[in-house]
Amino acid sequence: MPDATAPAQDRIRETVEANDVVLFMKGTKAMPQCGFSAKVAGVLNYMNVPYKDVNVLDDMDVRQGIKDFSDWPTIPQLYVKGEFVGGCDIITEMTLSGELDEMLEAKGVAFDKDAAEEIRKHNG
């Protein structure tokens, strides 16, 4: 677990590097606290993607720090293998186009391909 006294940027970097998939969100994967976070967590949960959730509401330094870290103004933010992927709109588009599947596959992250197809079938 990253040291809570370390500057937010260091803690964010450590979290992103230590986990294959990280979602910085408002709330938790079990109880999202905003619709956008709920949408991205819902996609990841449905596709059975193993990921670390970081509740930015628990730490105001991380809440601002993640925006600075990625140079992206909004939350949620998804990272895969240390790379910033995007927020809610980007993840939604990538899920529906199949790009998210391709990226997860290319980076060796396990997920349920059938579930990904179900999402596309019902939202296409």
Report the binding-site residues. Answer: 34
CA dist., res. 41 & res. 49, Å (int):
10
Burial of 102 (0-12, 13-18, 19+ CB in 10 A): exposed
Residues making up the binding site for [2Fe-2S] cluster:
34
Among 122, 77, 119, 76, smallest CA distance to 98 is for 119
DSSP assignment of 46-69, as one string? Answer: HTT---EEEEGGG-HHHHHHHHHH
